[in-house]
Structure 1
Amino acid sequence: MLDCKPIDSPMDPNQKLMADQGELFTDPERYRRLVGKLIYLTITRPDLSFAVGIVSQFMQAPHIDHWNAVLRILRYIKKAPGQGLLYEDKGDSQISGYCDADWAGCPIDRRSTTGYCVFLGGNLISWKSKKQNVVARSSAEAEYRAMALITCELMCIKQLLQELKFCEGHPMKLYCDNQAALHIASNPVFHERTKHIEVDCHFVREKLLSKEIVTKFVTSNEQLADVMTKSLRGPRIQFLCSKLGAYNLYASA
C-alpha cells in the first residue's frame, strides 16, 4: 500500500458491513494481523476507533468486503501518516467529557454504538468506541447508557488524579447532545419507559446530586464524540480531529 491513493475518510458512510457478505477472504490470518496492528494504532489515533472497531468484529471469518474495508483504513492513514495527539498546557485542569450514541446503528444485531472522549485541561486523555451490550429501545436509552459509561470513566480519572494530588475541586462537565437523556438525568420521577435502565439512572443522578458532575447540552455540530459512533465525511472528520487535538506532524505550518 506504499503507492496507494490517499482518501479522506476511513470508512464509506454509505456502506454497512455484514457478517455473511460476499466471498470469504482466503487468508484470514493476514486479516487478523493487520487489524491487530490497527487496534494498536488507535492508542494515538482516536479518529480510527470506530472504523477499527467495525472491522475487528469479523476476525473469525473475514470476507473480501471486510478486507477491502481494512485497506480503505490504510488509504486513510496514508493521507496523514504523521497524525497524532498534541498535548499542551492550556492553563487549567478542568475535567470534561463528551458522550454520544448511534442508536441501532449496527445492521447485524441493531445494537447501538457508544462513543465518548474525556479531556483534562483541554487535552484528550481517554476515548472509546464500543458497541453496547444490549439493544436499546429508544435513542434516549442509548444516549443514557453512553452517559452512564462516561460517568464511570470520569470517576476513575478523578480518583486517579486525586491520588496524584493533581485534581481541583471543580465539578466535572459532561456534554451530551440528547435533550431527552439530559431530562431523565435531572428528573427525579421515573417514567415507565425508563424502568429498564433504572440502575444507570440512579448512578448518573447520584453523581449529579453530589455535584461531582454537571451535565451540559451541546449541539450535534459541536459533539466531539461523533467521530467515535459513526462513519463521517472527510471535512467533518478533519474538523473533529482539530477539536480533539489531533494534528499532522508533517503538515506545513
Structure 2
Amino acid sequence: MGCKPIDTPMDPNVKLLPGQGEQLSNPERYRRLVGKLNYLTVTRSDISFPVSVVSQFMTSPCDSHWDAVVRILRYIKSALGKGLLFEDQGHKHITGYTDADWAGSPFDRRSTSGYCVLVGVAWRTEVWRNRSYGTCV
C-alpha cells in the first residue's frame, strides 16, 4: 500500500523471457499473487494482458517476472476506482475487439492473439464525490 502509483500496468519496452534473471527463492508466493491477479481480471479488463504475460512464467519465475507483477500492483493502486460495472443499462448491442501479435514472442516466435466481446457492459470510472459511467471502448 505504500508504493508509488504508476500509469501503465506493463512497461512496453520490457520483453519478459523464461530464465531471465535469478530464480525466485519462493515461487509459491509468485503463483499465489498471479492467481489473485488473474481472478481480478474478471472486473479489471485493463490488466488482462499484463496478467496473461506474467502467467506464462508460473513454473519457474525469476526476479524480472516478479518486478513485472509488482508493476501491475502499482498500476492497480493508481486506478482503484476503475473497473467493470455489471448492471442493466438497457444496452442491447454486442461489441467485439480482436488483436494479434504474429510471432511476437522473442523466445519461441509463437503468436499471441486475444479477443474481447462486450454484451451490455459499462466501464466504470469513479472520481471522488462524482461518478461517471460510460460504455467500454
- TM interval, shorter chain, is 0.7 to 0.9
User: Corresponding residue for 1:36?
Assistant: 35
2:12 matches 1:19 = no
Unaligned runs of 5+ in 1: 125-244
Q: How many residues align?
A: 129
Question: Could you tell me how far apart the structure 2 residues matched to 1:12 and 1:252 are?
Answer: 31
SS at match of 1:62: coil
Q: CA deviation at 1:250?
A: 4.5
Q: CA deviation at 1:246?
A: 2.5
User: Corresponding residue for 1:96?
Assistant: 95
**Range 107-116 or range 60-69, more displaced:** 107-116
Question: Could you tell me how far apart the structure 2 residues matched to 1:37 and 1:74 are?
Answer: 11
User: Corresponding residue for 1:10?
Assistant: 9
Question: Could you tell me how far apart the structure 1 residues matched to 2:129 and 2:73 are?
Answer: 22
Of structures 1 and 2, the larger Rg is shown by 1
Question: Could you tell me how far apart the structure 1 residues matched to 2:129 and 2:88 are?
Answer: 19
Q: Of the candidates 123, 126, 130, which is equivalent to residue 246 of structure 1?
A: 123
Question: Could you tell me how far apart the structure 1 residues matched to 2:106 and 2:129 are?
Answer: 40
Quick check: which one's helix share is greater?
1
Unaligned runs of 5+ in 2: 131-137
Q: CA deviation at 1:248?
A: 3.0
Quick check: which one's strand share is greater?
2
Under a length normalisation based on structure 2, what TM-score does the superposition of the two structures give? 0.85
Under a length normalisation based on structure 1, what TM-score does the superposition of the two structures give? 0.48
Q: How big is each residue's C-alpha offset from its partner over 1:204-239, in whole Å with a ceiling of 9 and x where there is no partner?
A: xxxxxxxxxxxxxxxxxxxxxxxxxxxxxxxxxxxx
SS at match of 1:47: helix
The answer as to whether partners of 1:104 and 1:111 remain within 8 angstroms in 2 is yes
Q: CA deviation at 1:119?
A: 2.3
Call closer, same or farther: CA 1:9–1:28 in 2, change over 3 Å.
Answer: same
Question: Could you tell me how far apart the structure 2 residues matched to 1:31 and 1:119 are?
Answer: 30
